[in-house]
Amino acid sequence: MQGKKKVQITALAGDYIGPEIMAAGLKVLEVVGENGRFDYELHEVPFGGAAIDQTGEPLPQETLSACQQSDAVLLAAIGGPKWDHAVKRPEAGLLEIRKKLNLFANIRPTVIEEAMQQYSPLKNGKPVNFVIVRELTSGIYFGTPRQLDENYALDTMRYTKEEVQRITRSAFELARKRKKHVTLVDKANVLATSKFWRRIVAEIALTYPDVAYDACYVDAASMKIISAPQQFDVILTENLFGDILSDEAAEITGSLGTIPSMSLGSSGPALYEPIHGSAPDIAGKGIADPISMIRSVAMMLANSFDRADLVAQITTAINAVISKQIVTPDLGGNASTTEVTDAIITTIKESR
Protein backbone atom coordinates (compact mmCIF):
# COMPACT_ATOMS: atom_id res chain seq x y z
CA MET A 1 0.00 0.00 0.00
CA GLN A 2 1.35 3.37 -0.97
CA GLY A 3 1.48 5.96 1.79
CA LYS A 4 -0.48 9.19 1.56
CA LYS A 5 1.71 12.01 0.28
CA LYS A 6 2.85 14.14 3.19
CA VAL A 7 1.80 17.79 3.18
CA GLN A 8 4.60 20.14 2.22
CA ILE A 9 5.33 23.21 4.35
CA THR A 10 7.87 25.88 3.49
CA ALA A 11 9.36 27.96 6.30
CA LEU A 12 10.86 31.39 5.64
CA ALA A 13 12.64 32.45 8.83
CA GLY A 14 13.92 35.77 7.51
CA ASP A 15 15.81 38.32 9.56
CA TYR A 16 16.62 39.53 13.08
CA ILE A 17 14.06 37.93 15.43
CA GLY A 18 12.65 35.99 12.46
CA PRO A 19 14.74 32.83 13.01
CA GLU A 20 14.14 32.98 16.79
CA ILE A 21 10.37 32.94 16.54
CA MET A 22 10.33 30.57 13.55
CA ALA A 23 12.22 28.05 15.67
CA ALA A 24 9.55 28.39 18.35
CA GLY A 25 6.72 27.94 15.85
CA LEU A 26 8.32 24.88 14.27
CA LYS A 27 8.98 23.30 17.66
CA VAL A 28 5.28 23.57 18.51
CA LEU A 29 4.32 22.23 15.08
CA GLU A 30 6.60 19.26 15.63
CA VAL A 31 5.05 18.49 19.00
CA VAL A 32 1.41 18.74 17.90
CA GLY A 33 2.26 16.58 14.89
CA GLU A 34 4.22 13.87 16.67
CA ASN A 35 3.29 10.17 16.63
CA GLY A 36 1.54 10.51 13.30
CA ARG A 37 -0.92 13.14 14.49
CA PHE A 38 0.08 15.43 11.61
CA ASP A 39 2.60 14.36 8.98
CA TYR A 40 4.43 16.99 7.02
CA GLU A 41 7.64 17.64 5.21
CA LEU A 42 9.43 20.87 6.01
CA HIS A 43 11.48 23.05 3.64
CA GLU A 44 13.50 25.78 5.26
CA VAL A 45 14.71 28.25 2.65
CA PRO A 46 16.25 31.72 2.70
CA PHE A 47 14.13 34.83 2.21
CA GLY A 48 14.45 38.59 2.77
CA GLY A 49 17.71 40.02 4.03
CA ALA A 50 19.10 36.56 4.75
CA ALA A 51 18.53 35.65 1.10
CA ILE A 52 20.10 38.88 -0.12
CA ASP A 53 23.21 38.03 1.88
CA GLN A 54 23.37 34.53 0.41
CA THR A 55 22.24 35.07 -3.16
CA GLY A 56 21.86 38.79 -3.84
CA GLU A 57 18.10 38.46 -4.18
CA PRO A 58 15.42 38.75 -1.46
CA LEU A 59 13.31 36.08 -3.19
CA PRO A 60 15.67 33.62 -4.93
CA GLN A 61 14.16 31.33 -7.55
CA GLU A 62 14.62 28.21 -5.39
CA THR A 63 12.75 29.89 -2.54
CA LEU A 64 9.90 30.83 -4.83
CA SER A 65 9.80 27.29 -6.27
CA ALA A 66 9.73 25.76 -2.81
CA CYS A 67 6.79 28.00 -1.90
CA GLN A 68 4.94 27.25 -5.13
CA GLN A 69 5.31 23.51 -4.59
CA SER A 70 4.10 23.69 -1.00
CA ASP A 71 0.69 23.36 0.56
CA ALA A 72 1.38 26.24 2.93
CA VAL A 73 4.08 28.80 3.67
CA LEU A 74 5.16 30.03 7.09
CA LEU A 75 6.97 33.36 7.23
CA ALA A 76 8.50 34.89 10.36
CA ALA A 77 9.75 38.44 9.66
CA ILE A 78 12.11 40.20 7.28
CA GLY A 79 14.05 43.42 6.83
CA GLY A 80 15.97 45.73 9.13
CA PRO A 81 18.68 48.38 9.23
CA LYS A 82 21.33 46.05 7.82
CA TRP A 83 19.76 46.36 4.36
CA ASP A 84 18.52 49.94 4.59
CA HIS A 85 21.06 51.11 2.06
CA ALA A 86 21.34 47.93 0.05
CA VAL A 87 20.59 47.96 -3.66
CA LYS A 88 17.97 45.26 -3.18
CA ARG A 89 15.70 45.53 -0.16
CA PRO A 90 14.11 42.67 1.77
CA GLU A 91 10.67 44.35 1.44
CA ALA A 92 10.88 43.94 -2.32
CA GLY A 93 10.89 40.19 -1.73
CA LEU A 94 7.72 40.48 0.32
CA LEU A 95 5.88 42.38 -2.41
CA GLU A 96 7.18 39.91 -4.98
CA ILE A 97 6.12 36.79 -3.12
CA ARG A 98 2.63 38.24 -2.60
CA LYS A 99 2.37 38.89 -6.32
CA LYS A 100 3.91 35.60 -7.48
CA LEU A 101 1.75 33.48 -5.18
CA ASN A 102 -1.21 35.71 -6.04
CA LEU A 103 -1.97 36.28 -2.36
CA PHE A 104 -4.62 38.90 -2.90
CA ALA A 105 -6.39 38.66 0.45
CA ASN A 106 -4.57 39.53 3.65
CA ILE A 107 -6.60 38.67 6.71
CA ARG A 108 -5.81 40.05 10.13
CA PRO A 109 -7.88 39.45 13.22
CA THR A 110 -8.11 42.11 15.90
CA VAL A 111 -9.24 40.49 19.11
CA ILE A 112 -9.29 41.79 22.67
CA GLU A 113 -10.61 39.14 25.02
CA GLU A 114 -11.19 39.49 28.72
CA ALA A 115 -7.78 38.06 29.63
CA MET A 116 -5.97 40.45 27.27
CA GLN A 117 -7.77 43.67 28.31
CA GLN A 118 -4.90 44.53 30.62
CA TYR A 119 -2.57 44.92 27.62
CA SER A 120 -4.89 47.15 25.62
CA PRO A 121 -3.95 50.85 25.68
CA LEU A 122 -7.67 51.67 25.56
CA LYS A 123 -9.81 52.45 28.59
CA ASN A 124 -12.87 50.97 26.83
CA GLY A 125 -13.02 47.60 28.59
CA LYS A 126 -15.40 45.87 26.21
CA PRO A 127 -14.34 42.86 24.13
CA VAL A 128 -13.28 43.55 20.54
CA ASN A 129 -13.42 41.08 17.68
CA PHE A 130 -13.07 42.16 14.08
CA VAL A 131 -11.08 41.18 11.05
CA ILE A 132 -9.46 43.33 8.38
CA VAL A 133 -9.55 41.92 4.85
CA ARG A 134 -6.89 43.87 2.99
CA GLU A 135 -6.38 43.68 -0.78
CA LEU A 136 -2.73 42.72 -1.11
CA THR A 137 -1.63 42.48 -4.74
CA SER A 138 -2.77 45.68 -6.39
CA GLY A 139 -3.46 49.37 -5.71
CA ILE A 140 -0.71 51.91 -5.26
CA TYR A 141 1.74 49.17 -4.19
CA PHE A 142 1.90 47.82 -7.73
CA GLY A 143 0.25 50.42 -9.98
CA THR A 144 2.10 51.83 -12.94
CA PRO A 145 3.32 54.30 -14.03
CA ARG A 146 5.61 54.98 -11.09
CA GLN A 147 8.24 57.66 -11.45
CA LEU A 148 10.98 59.18 -9.35
CA ASP A 149 12.68 62.11 -11.06
CA GLU A 150 14.78 65.02 -9.93
CA ASN A 151 11.85 67.44 -9.88
CA TYR A 152 8.79 65.29 -9.38
CA ALA A 153 7.56 61.85 -8.47
CA LEU A 154 4.37 59.89 -8.94
CA ASP A 155 2.65 56.68 -7.96
CA THR A 156 -0.50 55.22 -9.47
CA MET A 157 -3.34 53.69 -7.47
CA ARG A 158 -5.07 51.37 -9.89
CA TYR A 159 -7.71 48.65 -9.58
CA THR A 160 -9.51 46.42 -12.05
CA LYS A 161 -13.04 45.20 -11.58
CA GLU A 162 -11.92 41.62 -11.17
CA GLU A 163 -9.42 42.55 -8.46
CA VAL A 164 -12.11 44.27 -6.46
CA GLN A 165 -14.66 41.52 -7.04
CA ARG A 166 -12.55 38.63 -5.80
CA ILE A 167 -11.45 40.30 -2.57
CA THR A 168 -15.00 41.48 -1.96
CA ARG A 169 -16.29 37.93 -2.24
CA SER A 170 -13.62 36.76 0.22
CA ALA A 171 -14.81 39.38 2.69
CA PHE A 172 -18.48 38.48 2.36
CA GLU A 173 -17.78 34.76 2.62
CA LEU A 174 -15.77 35.39 5.76
CA ALA A 175 -18.52 37.58 7.23
CA ARG A 176 -20.98 34.71 6.73
CA LYS A 177 -18.92 32.63 9.14
CA ARG A 178 -18.76 35.51 11.61
CA LYS A 179 -21.13 38.29 12.66
CA LYS A 180 -22.45 38.83 9.11
CA HIS A 181 -21.39 42.44 8.72
CA VAL A 182 -19.04 43.93 6.14
CA THR A 183 -17.78 47.52 6.27
CA LEU A 184 -16.04 48.86 3.20
CA VAL A 185 -13.40 51.44 4.10
CA ASP A 186 -12.43 53.88 1.37
CA LYS A 187 -12.09 57.55 0.46
CA ALA A 188 -15.01 57.76 -1.97
CA ASN A 189 -15.45 61.49 -1.38
CA VAL A 190 -12.13 62.07 -3.12
CA LEU A 191 -10.70 59.09 -5.01
CA ALA A 192 -11.89 57.59 -8.30
CA THR A 193 -10.63 54.15 -7.22
CA SER A 194 -12.75 54.41 -4.06
CA LYS A 195 -15.87 55.34 -6.04
CA PHE A 196 -15.08 52.30 -8.19
CA TRP A 197 -14.79 50.03 -5.13
CA ARG A 198 -18.01 51.39 -3.72
CA ARG A 199 -19.94 50.64 -6.89
CA ILE A 200 -18.62 47.08 -7.23
CA VAL A 201 -18.91 46.19 -3.56
CA ALA A 202 -22.49 47.51 -3.38
CA GLU A 203 -23.43 45.24 -6.29
CA ILE A 204 -21.91 42.15 -4.71
CA ALA A 205 -23.47 43.04 -1.35
CA LEU A 206 -26.89 42.59 -2.97
CA THR A 207 -26.05 38.95 -3.60
CA TYR A 208 -25.40 38.45 0.14
CA PRO A 209 -28.76 39.53 1.59
CA ASP A 210 -27.90 37.77 4.86
CA VAL A 211 -24.84 40.00 5.40
CA ALA A 212 -25.24 43.62 6.56
CA TYR A 213 -23.20 46.07 4.49
CA ASP A 214 -22.07 49.63 5.06
CA ALA A 215 -19.21 51.91 4.04
CA CYS A 216 -17.03 54.34 5.93
CA TYR A 217 -14.35 56.86 4.95
CA VAL A 218 -10.82 55.88 5.90
CA ASP A 219 -10.30 58.94 8.10
CA ALA A 220 -13.49 58.18 10.03
CA ALA A 221 -12.48 54.51 10.27
CA SER A 222 -9.16 55.47 11.86
CA MET A 223 -11.20 57.18 14.58
CA LYS A 224 -13.75 54.40 15.05
CA ILE A 225 -11.03 51.79 15.51
CA ILE A 226 -10.21 53.69 18.69
CA SER A 227 -13.59 55.01 19.79
CA ALA A 228 -15.90 52.14 18.84
CA PRO A 229 -14.05 49.04 17.60
CA GLN A 230 -17.06 46.96 18.64
CA GLN A 231 -18.92 48.34 15.63
CA PHE A 232 -16.81 46.31 13.22
CA ASP A 233 -17.00 42.71 12.12
CA VAL A 234 -15.27 42.47 8.74
CA ILE A 235 -13.48 45.55 7.39
CA LEU A 236 -12.88 45.30 3.65
CA THR A 237 -10.32 47.70 2.21
CA GLU A 238 -7.71 48.35 -0.44
CA ASN A 239 -4.00 47.72 -0.03
CA LEU A 240 -2.64 51.02 1.35
CA PHE A 241 -5.57 51.77 3.67
CA GLY A 242 -5.35 48.18 4.90
CA ASP A 243 -1.66 48.61 5.68
CA ILE A 244 -2.31 51.64 7.88
CA LEU A 245 -5.53 50.52 9.55
CA SER A 246 -4.40 46.99 10.30
CA ASP A 247 -1.36 48.27 12.16
CA GLU A 248 -3.52 50.74 14.05
CA ALA A 249 -5.95 47.93 14.87
CA ALA A 250 -3.12 45.73 16.12
CA GLU A 251 -2.01 48.52 18.40
CA ILE A 252 -5.34 48.77 20.22
CA THR A 253 -4.82 45.21 21.43
CA GLY A 254 -1.51 46.25 22.97
CA SER A 255 -0.14 42.83 22.13
CA LEU A 256 1.44 43.04 18.71
CA GLY A 257 3.71 40.15 19.58
CA THR A 258 0.79 37.74 19.72
CA ILE A 259 -1.09 38.43 16.47
CA PRO A 260 -0.95 36.15 13.41
CA SER A 261 -2.21 36.82 9.89
CA MET A 262 -2.84 34.93 6.71
CA SER A 263 -2.63 35.81 3.04
CA LEU A 264 -4.68 33.81 0.56
CA GLY A 265 -5.03 33.44 -3.18
CA SER A 266 -7.75 31.63 -5.05
CA SER A 267 -5.58 28.54 -5.43
CA GLY A 268 -2.07 27.57 -4.37
CA PRO A 269 -0.52 27.83 -0.94
CA ALA A 270 -1.57 30.40 1.64
CA LEU A 271 1.03 32.28 3.65
CA TYR A 272 0.94 32.66 7.44
CA GLU A 273 2.95 35.22 9.36
CA PRO A 274 3.02 37.39 12.47
CA ILE A 275 1.81 40.91 11.80
CA HIS A 276 4.85 42.51 13.40
CA GLY A 277 8.24 43.11 11.86
CA SER A 278 11.73 41.78 12.52
CA ALA A 279 12.31 43.88 15.68
CA PRO A 280 16.05 44.54 15.26
CA ASP A 281 16.21 46.20 18.68
CA ILE A 282 15.55 42.94 20.54
CA ALA A 283 17.10 40.45 18.09
CA GLY A 284 19.59 38.03 19.64
CA LYS A 285 18.37 38.68 23.16
CA GLY A 286 16.11 35.63 23.26
CA ILE A 287 13.12 37.66 24.43
CA ALA A 288 11.00 37.90 21.29
CA ASP A 289 7.40 36.89 21.88
CA PRO A 290 6.88 33.53 20.12
CA ILE A 291 3.08 33.64 20.38
CA SER A 292 2.43 35.46 17.09
CA MET A 293 4.42 32.77 15.25
CA ILE A 294 2.84 29.91 17.17
CA ARG A 295 -0.59 31.37 16.41
CA SER A 296 0.43 31.63 12.74
CA VAL A 297 1.16 27.90 12.84
CA ALA A 298 -2.29 27.33 14.36
CA MET A 299 -3.91 29.52 11.69
CA MET A 300 -2.21 27.37 9.06
CA LEU A 301 -3.45 24.15 10.65
CA ALA A 302 -6.98 25.54 10.73
CA ASN A 303 -7.17 27.14 7.34
CA SER A 304 -4.90 25.08 5.08
CA PHE A 305 -5.29 21.68 6.76
CA ASP A 306 -8.63 21.79 8.50
CA ARG A 307 -7.18 20.52 11.78
CA ALA A 308 -9.42 22.25 14.32
CA ASP A 309 -8.42 19.57 16.84
CA LEU A 310 -4.76 20.59 16.80
CA VAL A 311 -5.64 24.29 16.77
CA ALA A 312 -7.69 23.83 19.94
CA GLN A 313 -4.70 22.23 21.69
CA ILE A 314 -2.42 25.09 20.74
CA THR A 315 -4.88 27.84 21.57
CA THR A 316 -5.82 26.39 24.93
CA ALA A 317 -2.15 26.03 25.81
CA ILE A 318 -1.34 29.61 24.81
CA ASN A 319 -4.18 30.97 26.93
CA ALA A 320 -3.14 28.87 29.91
CA VAL A 321 0.46 30.05 29.69
CA ILE A 322 -0.57 33.69 29.35
CA SER A 323 -2.87 33.46 32.34
CA LYS A 324 -0.01 31.97 34.35
CA GLN A 325 1.92 35.13 33.37
CA ILE A 326 4.64 33.13 31.68
CA VAL A 327 5.12 35.89 29.13
CA THR A 328 7.90 37.84 27.41
CA PRO A 329 8.68 41.50 28.21
CA ASP A 330 6.30 42.88 25.55
CA LEU A 331 3.48 41.54 27.74
CA GLY A 332 5.12 42.77 30.92
CA GLY A 333 6.74 39.48 31.89
CA ASN A 334 10.35 38.34 32.08
CA ALA A 335 10.18 34.92 30.47
CA SER A 336 12.37 34.17 27.47
CA THR A 337 11.22 33.04 24.02
CA THR A 338 12.29 29.51 24.92
CA GLU A 339 10.57 29.52 28.30
CA VAL A 340 7.25 30.61 26.81
CA THR A 341 7.55 28.08 23.99
CA ASP A 342 8.46 25.25 26.34
CA ALA A 343 5.60 26.13 28.69
CA ILE A 344 3.20 25.97 25.75
CA ILE A 345 4.62 22.63 24.64
CA THR A 346 4.41 21.17 28.14
CA THR A 347 0.78 22.27 28.39
CA ILE A 348 -0.02 20.71 25.01
CA LYS A 349 1.55 17.40 26.07
CA GLU A 350 -0.27 17.38 29.39
CA SER A 351 -3.58 18.02 27.66
CA ARG A 352 -3.61 14.87 25.55
Ligand X SMILES: CC(C)[C@H](C(=O)O)[C@@H](O)C(=O)O
End-to-end CA distance of the chain: 30
Residue 40 annotated among the catalytic residues of the structure: no
User: In whole angstroms, what is the distance from residue 129 CA to residue 114 CA?
Assistant: 11
Q: By CB under 6 A, tell whether 75 contacts ligand X.
A: no
User: For its own copies, which residue of 37, 146, 324, 349 counts as binding (CB under 8 A)?
Assistant: 146
User: Among 42, 86, 226, 312, which residue interacts with its own copies (rule: CB under 8 A)?
Assistant: 226
Which region among 121-129, 264-272, 285-293, 312-320 touches its own copies (by CB under 8 A)? 121-129
**Which of 81, 21, 92 lies closest to 51 in space, CA to CA?**
92
> What is the torsional sign of CA 93, 99, 181, 202?
positive
CB of 9 to its own copies, least distance (A): 28
Q: State yes or no: is 233 an active-site residue.
A: no
Question: Given candidates 193, 255, 261, 292, which one binds its own copies under the rule CB under 8 A?
Answer: 193
Single residue of 115, 154, 202, 308 touching its own copies by CB under 8 A? 154
Contact between 243 and ligand X by CB under 6 A: the answer reads yes
Looking from the CA of 255 toward its CB, the CA atoms found within 13 Å total: 26
Known catalytic residue: 306? no
Residues 209, 176 contacting (CB under 8 angstroms): no
Q: Which 3 state secondary structure label does DSSP give 265? A: coil
Q: Which of 65, 78, 136, 139 is nearest to 105 (CA)?
A: 136
Catalytic residue among 141, 195, 217, 224: 141
Is 330 among the catalytic positions?
no
Question: How far is residue 166's CA from residue 135's CA, in Å, rounded to a whole number?
Answer: 9
Q: Which does 151 bind (CB under 5 to 8 A by kind): ligand X, its own copies, none?
A: its own copies
Q: Is 89 in the site for its own copies (CB under 8 A)?
A: yes
- Which residues of this chain interact with ligand X, rule CB under 6 A? 91, 94, 189-190, 219, 243
Kindly list the catalytic residues.
141, 187, 219, 243, 247
